[in-house]
Every structure is written in C-alpha cells, then in structure tokens.
Amino acid sequence: MISLSKNTVSAAAAANTTVGTLTLLDSTGAARTANWSLAPCAAGYFNTAGAVISTLRASIPAGFYPIQVRANATNVDLKEKARFIIQVS
C-alpha cells in the first residue's frame, strides 16, 4: 500500500514546493524504502524527488489533479501503484 502524507497545495506556491511525502507499506504495515516514479498523467504540474511529491512549476491553476505513483521496494520483492488527487486551492 502507498500512502501520501498530504494532498493539498496553494495555487500561489512556488516551484518545487512540497505537496506531501509518499510511504510504501508492506503487508505487515512496515515502511519500506522504495524507488518512486510518477506517471505522465500529472499534467506537467507535479514531480517526484525520492518520496516527495512537489510542484513542478509556480502558479498552478486551482483545481483537482489526478496523479499516479509507482513504487518499487529496494530490498524486498514489492511493487505497488496508487492514484491520488492533488487539490490546488
């Protein structure tokens, strides 16, 4: 399972503003280190650097933006993907 710590950001946020942090959990609930990727559906507004989702540019129009993330655990055989909605207000 993948969780996102926060899914809201201001429309006036600067580029590279942190939206939230991703966590990959295994079947026991333990957090796992992972390599992360963001599917192209992020509309050019969001980026991933490590486990952090951030704004790719400044002044994103207000709205709801779907993103899809993929995680590939580094020390165990665990791959997950999840969809989240980022609210820009």
- pLDDT, position 53: 96
> What is the residue range of 21's domain?
2-88
62: domain CATH number is 2.60.40.10
What is the tally of structural domains in the chain?
A: 1
Q: What is the per-residue pLDDT across 77-87, written as a single tens digit (0 to 9) for each?
A: 999 999 999 99
Task: Report the alpha-carbon distance of residue 5 to residue 60 in Å, rounded.
Answer: 20
Are 55 and 45 spatial neighbours (Cβ–Cβ below 8 Å)?
Answer: yes
What was the pLDDT predicted at 64? 95
Three-class secondary structure of residue 13 per DSSP: coil
Closest CA to 25 of 68, 71, 67: 71
Tens of pLDDT, residues 25-69: 999 999 999 999 998 876 689 999 999 999 999 999 999 999 999
Q: What does residue 24 show for φ and ψ, rounded to 5 degrees?
A: -100, 125
User: What is the predicted pLDDT for the residue at 40?
Assistant: 81
